[in-house]
Every structure is written in structure tokens, then in C-alpha cells.
Amino acid sequence: VKIGVPENYDGIFPWYLAKLHNLPSNYSDLVLTGDDEGIFGVDAQFLYAIKPLDREKQPSYSLQTFTVEVFVIDKNDNVPTFIEESMRGSVQLGLLKIPFMRVEAVDRDDRNTAHAELRFSMMEQTPRIPSSQMFFIDSITGEVSLTEEASTLDPEMCGRYKLSVMVKDMAGRTNAFFTSGIVTVEVTGNTWASPDPVRLQENLPGPYPIPISQVKWSGSQAAYSLDGEFPEMLFTISREGVIYLNAPLDRETQDQFHISIVVERPDGRQIAKPVELRVMVGDANDNRPTFPQAQYHTVVKELAARTEILTVQAADNDDPKTDNVRIFYRLVGQIPESPRALFRVDRDSGVISVQADSMEGTAPQYTLTITAEDAKLNSSCTVVVTVQDENNNPPVFSQHEYGPFHIPEDAVVGTTVTSVLARDADVRGGDSWQVDYRLESGHEEEVFTLVTDRQTNEVSLILSKVLDFERESEYILVLSAQNQVPLVRGRYGPLSTATVSIYVDDVNEGPVLSQSHYEVTVREGEEPGRVIATIRGYDPDSHPIYSLQGDTKKYFSIGKYSGELKTVQALDREENSTYTMEVIAVDGNSSLSASTLVTVQILDVNDNSPVLVGDYSWKYLCTPRWEDQALVLASRDSDGPQHGGRLNFSLRSDATVRRNWKLTPINTHTNLSLNIPNLPPEVYMVPFTISDSSSPPRSTFINLPCPCNVRGNCKIAAKPLQGMPTIQSTVGLLLGTFAVIIILIVIFVRLSYQNPKEPSKTSQERVPLKISI
């Protein structure tokens, strides 16, 4: 049986605690254990107590015969107290916000209840300098640590502080018991500081590890570790704070290290800010000078004399502030070796130059070996020097004369007569070696063409025109050879020219006409029967016989043996301006023949007057005058350009007309416009003459009605004539109208006779204007 009984009962005694149901009814002499004070008793199966219980004095009791456990229930009847009456601690300069001491208190109440749940608080800091809140106490653990304001701690200003602290039970509630106490904190200095920089030589021989520096935290027990940009285990630190170097350093890989030293408590909590050790690596001459490329290429001209051709530069990764990077250059090899002393390299600058007066006659290419050396190490590179050929050798022929070569006169165009070669001593394939050939004389008729093979420099003489033994039976050609680029030394002499002799062999041939095309001119209207051209043919074997083809209308004839071309009837240029026919010349002894085209151009004669074309009845000019407004007048002359090509417009020689009107030629047309700003609105008759460009010219007089309108729509009706017409004026108008009709009929009849074909379409530009003449 388990019974819970509250402590400190202050009611009526005996205090019946519980009924013991399992107690035998015939019990006697019940023995209680753990009740030295005689507090408990049993009456009628009830367990009772005769005075209050105190849990802190004895929390439980046990009865025998069968076990009865009595648990005393706790009440908050104890005040928490600090374990130490005098609480002291010390804090080191540089300590982070971590606990440096712990305040401990105890409460006799039950720990499993809120009665013994303690809370700590900071009441006051004395003195309050340099800041009033430099310490902090954890409310649950009682750990005392520094705040952010503690960064100004200075033992010289204040080396001791008294902190008033309080502890409460009941988790710090308002009805809790509390106790206050004083904590004395001593501020002490610290040896935790960044060590002096260390300078280490690279590639130290060892043995390793080598101690290089030491740090120490002078406060509580601490553990050390290193952090920074360096390979793992290159630097380590012992439990005593000694820093070791564990392997050789390489300045070229990293010339200095910034090592962060961390101090921590054994539980891993950092105590203070890390300090830094700077390690500088000293240089050792452990890097050989190296060239940026293993092989260089350069070019030197063949005639170059004592000139710089290339600069090589090596780099040394050692410390540039030391003599370890001072580099010297040497020329140690030349392939081919001959001639010696052809090149040199400057010891300090690495400039490679030619020492000889000329590279003429040397090898086309040299390979040089250059070394770069510092105080004890070296490396090398190769320089390939290509000797660039210059045009210092002209091409020369092996013979002064070639031939004679025979070729039949009927050889086809494109036949190769011969091939010759002018040799050049310059480098094969280069510009200085390439040869251009030219025929200097004997080639006036351009019968032959030169074709050069650029792979071999051989030139072929090719027939480019038909040969004629009777006209030319022998050709003496002067052939010259020159390079494509100018000679840099010397000049072309007799050996660069040669003579080529070619004989043409006779072959029986047909007639040959002197021209492949004849162009003949004839004035229109000339009397027929006149010789207009003579077709001349040549046949060394017989006299050619001539005939015409293509003259379908039989306007021409040709003499069978004379080749004289005549007109059979008068020609009209307006009917046809050009005739083309073919003249055939046949060999009298064979079927061989030759032909030529004859084109007869009919020359124009000024037999047509110019006319004004177009309808101007709907056109008008604005008055007052509009800027750039004009009537565009078109004209036509049936004669050719020589007589009717450019037609001239001119106003009648009248002061009023020339004052009021203006004619302006524009390309093939003429603009009619007002010459003064304003004319009264009415229809005006503008008299002018159209003349052709012949001498003497043919002309036509025109009286053109021209309405002048006002602004707005600029279109008004013409004013009526003043007064009534008389009988005489009416008769005159009728007679004039009949005369114009008769003239127009004559003109149309003549035009119809000259060109009987109906026009395919009517064009406004080709219809003459009805005019007053």
C-alpha cells in the first residue's frame, strides 16, 4: 500500500491518513519500521499520525507485517540558498561571450516540483565603469559571462567588480522565495596575442616538424587549432600552443601564409577571438628560367646585312627582388653549322641579329639553339630562321635563238607551236622565281599567245589567229623573260631575251574576203544604178565569183566578177532605213567559198516638217501665275535625228507675245508658261514656230489657244468675242476651215502612201493637233 501525505499538517490529531483494507482483522502487535519518533499508529484498520510530517526530515516511512509506504508530499517551505557564501571568479581580457564562472544555489524542497526550480538574475554591477552592463548571468544555469559592452574592460581602470545576484524558486514567480548574494569578479590580463611574423626559407632541409612560433592562453584550460589557406597538415599546433612546420615550402606556389590560431575550451566552445600568425617564405634559386615557347620562327631577307631579326625573352619564377631572376642568353648551336658566326645573341637582352654582310648563298633555313641561364640553372629554346629569297637573279634563256618551227597555214587556233624555258636561280616556287614572258616584237598582229606553266616556268607559244601563207609566210618573234617582282639588284640583259623563228607552210585554200562585214551608206532618193560598195575577195588559185543572198525585194545587184554592189531602185529611209544581205564568194576551181555581211544604211534627207502632237484643248494655265506651272508641248519630225532630232520652239517676234509668254526646252519637250505674274482670265492665242535642226531648217507655224483661269479651281469659261460676227468674217472663217481640211487630207494621203500598214494602236503623241496655219 502506498499513501501520500502532505507535510506540515496543522489540523486535529490524531490525523487519520487512510484505511488499510488488506489489514487482517485479527492483527496484534503491529510493528512499524522507520518510525523512531512514534508518529504512526493503527486503529480499527485506519492508519493515523499524531503530529505533522516533514518531508525534508524524512520523505517516507515503511510499516511491516505487510508493507505500507507513506510518502510525504512537498510544500514550498524552504528558501533557496547559495552553496558558497563567498562567490569569487576571474575573467581574462579578450574572453568571448562564454561563461567564465558559475553561481550555484540549492533548495531543500522537492526537486521534481516547481518548489525547487531555481532562476538566477543580475541585480547590480559595482562599479558601473566603463559600462554598467558588462556581465550577464544565465537565468537557468547560473553561468556568468561577458556582454558586448565588456570589450572595453580594462584592469588598469577597474580590476575588480562586485555583482549583486539573486536566486528565486518557483521558476522565478512572484510568490517565490528568494535569496541574494555578492559575486566578486577579478579582471586579469592575458598573454593571448598575435605572435610576431615569421620568415622561413623555401625548401628547408629539415628534419620536420620544425617549431616556428608559440601562443598561450593564460586563463582556464584551453585547446588550440589552426585555420587558413594552406595544405592540410602543412602547419600544426601542439596542446602547449607550439606551431610546427611539417613540410618544405615553395615560394613560387605561395609566398606567404596567414594562419588563424583558434583557442577553445575542451568542450569545443571558442574562448577568444583568433589571433594571426603571418609566415613569409624566402626565395631560393630553385626555378630555372623558361621560354614561353619551345620554338620560335622568324624570317630574314637574303640581302639583309647586320640586322636584328628576333628577340627572345625567358621568365624566372624566383623572387623578382633577388638576383635569382637575373638571366643571361647564349647561342650554343647552329644547324647547319656553316658558315660560322652567322648569327649572335645579345647576352642581356636576348636580341638575335645577323652578323654577316649578306645571307646570299647561305642555306634556306637555319635552326639556332639559345640558352637562358640564371646563377645556377638554365633552359633552352630553338629559333628557326628562314632566309627569304629576294629577286637578285634575272631569268635567262639557255639559247639565244629557237627554231625555225614549221606550221601549216590551216593549223587550227590553239595549236602549240613550241615551248621554251628561261631558268631563274632564285628559290623555286617563290615570287622571285616566277617568270612572266612577253613578245617584244614580231607580234604586231597578235597571231600568237603565250601560256606559262607556273609549276615549271615553261612558256608555250600558242596560235591565236588563222594563218595566211600568202599574206605572211614567216614570223620572227623576240621573246623576253622577267620576274613578277622587281629586281633588287642588277638588271635584265641580253640573256633574258631570245628569238623564235616560225615558218608558215602553204596550203591550198578558198577565197578570202577582205572584210568580214561591210557597212555602206546611201542617201535616200538617189538615182538607181550607182555603185555603193565593192566587195573585194582574194583567192591565190582562181578569181572568186560573187552572188547576193537575203535581198528579197531585189533593191540591189552585185557584179559577178567585179564584186560591185549597186542600187536597182530609189530608196526611202522612212520606209526602211537599214538593209542587210550576205555576199558569197565562190572559188572558181572548187567548192570552197567565203561570205561576208553587208549592211546598207539609208541616209536621211530633210523632206518632212515638224508637227505639234497631242490634245491641248483641256489644258490651261492659272492666273495669277502658279509657280512651276506650264503646258508641256510635244512635237515630232518624221526625218531622222540629223534633221529632226532636236526640234526648236520659238515665239513670234512680237513684243507683247514675248512679254506675256515663255518657252523653255526640257529634254525632248518644251514647256509653255506665263512670263509675267498675271494676265486677265481669258483664252489667248499663243503664236510660235517649230523648226527642225537641219540646214536650212524646215518649220511649222502654230497658233495655240491657251486658256488662263483664276485661282480656286483655276478653271473658268473663256470670254466671248466682242461684238457680233459680220458676213465677211463668217465667209473668211468658212474658207479658212476648208483650206485646213484640204491640207490635212493631202498630208494623210501622203502618210498613207509612205506607210500603208494600219497602226496597231493610236497614240495621243502621234496625232497632229488641229492648228491654225
What amino acid occupies position 395?
P
DSSP letters along 291-304, please?
A: -SSSEEEEEEETT-
Q: Is a pLDDT exceeding 60 seen at residue 738?
A: yes
Place of cell 538593209: 579
pLDDT at 265 over 70: yes
C-alpha pair distances (Å), 481 with each of 405, 455, 457: 20, 16, 10
| Whole-number pLDDT of residue 765 | 37
Q: Indicate if the pLDDT at residue 757 is higher than 60.
A: no
Instruction: Name the band, by pLDDT with cuts 50, 70 and 90, for residue 29.
Output: low
pLDDT at 259 over 90: yes
As a whole number, the mean pLDDT across the chain is: 85
Percent residues over pLDDT 70 in the chain: 91
* pLDDT confidence bin for 66, thresholds 50/70/90: low
Joined grid coordinates for residue 107: 533548495
Give the pLDDT band (50/70/90) at residue 141. Answer: very high
> pLDDT tens digit string along 352-369?
999 888 888 888 899 999
* CA 324 remoteness from chain centre: 44
Report residue 98's pLDDT band, with 50, 70 and 90 as the boundaries.
confident
Lowest-pLDDT choice from 71-75, 589-593, 654-658, 659-663 = 589-593
Look at 2-6, 119-123, 218-222, 653-657 and tell me which has the smallest mean pLDDT.
218-222
Cell of 704: 495655240
Residue owning grid cell 594552406: 230
Altogether, the residues listed in the chain come to a count of 773
Task: Give the range among 187-191, 238-242, 401-405, 518-522 with minimum mean pLDDT.
Answer: 187-191
Cα-to-chain-centroid distance, residue 220: 67
In this prediction, residue 27 carries a pLDDT of: 63
Query: What is the predicted pLDDT for the residue at 758?
Result: 45
Provide the pLDDT confidence category of residue 269 given band limits of 50, 70 and 90. confident
Residue at 339: amino acid letter: P
Residue 413 is placed in which grid cell? 587556233
Strands 343-345 and 351-354: antiparallel
Q: How far apart are the first and last CA of the chain?
A: 160
What was the pLDDT predicted at 67? 67
Predicted confidence band at 763 (pLDDT cuts at 50, 70, 90)? very low
Closest to 180 (Cα-Cα) out of 81, 72, 61, 103 = 81
Least confident of 463-477, 482-496, 614-628: 614-628
Which pLDDT score is estimated for 235?
94
Distance CA 509, CA 503 (A): 17
User: What is the reported pLDDT for 373?
Assistant: 92
Q: Strand 564-567 vs strand 556-558: parallel, antiparallel, or unpaired?
A: antiparallel
**Contact by Cβ (8 Å): 521, 451:** no
CA distance 15 to 4: 13
- Lowest mean pLDDT of 123-137, 147-161, 639-653, name the range: 639-653
Phi-psi region of 525 (alpha: psi -120 to 50; beta: other; left: phi over 0): left
Give the rounded percent of residues in the chain with a pLDDT score beyond 90: 35
Q: Write down the pLDDT at residue 561.
A: 87
pLDDT at position 120 over 90: yes
Q: How far apart are CA 479 and CA 398, in angstroms?
A: 13
The conformation of residue 472, written as its DSSP 8-state character, comes to -
Whether the bond into 624 is cis, omega within 30 of 0: yes
Which region among 55-59, 270-274, 527-531, 712-716 has the lowest average model confidence (pLDDT)? 712-716
Q: 550-559 pLDDT, tens per residue? A: 888 888 999 8
pLDDT > 90? residue 267: no
* Residue 312 pLDDT greater than 70, yes or no: yes
Domains and CATH numbers, the chain: 2-73 (2.60.40.60), 87-188 (2.60.40.60), 192-282 (2.60.40.60), 295-388 (2.60.40.60), 396-505 (2.60.40.60), 512-603 (2.60.40.60), 611-708 (2.60.40.60)
Q: Which pLDDT tens digit goes with each residue over 190-219?
A: 888 889 999 988 888 889 999 999 999 887
Check residue 726 and give its pLDDT: 57
Q: Is residue 569's pLDDT more than 50?
A: yes
Give the residue-averaged pLDDT of 521-525: 84
H or E element at residue 48: strand 46-49
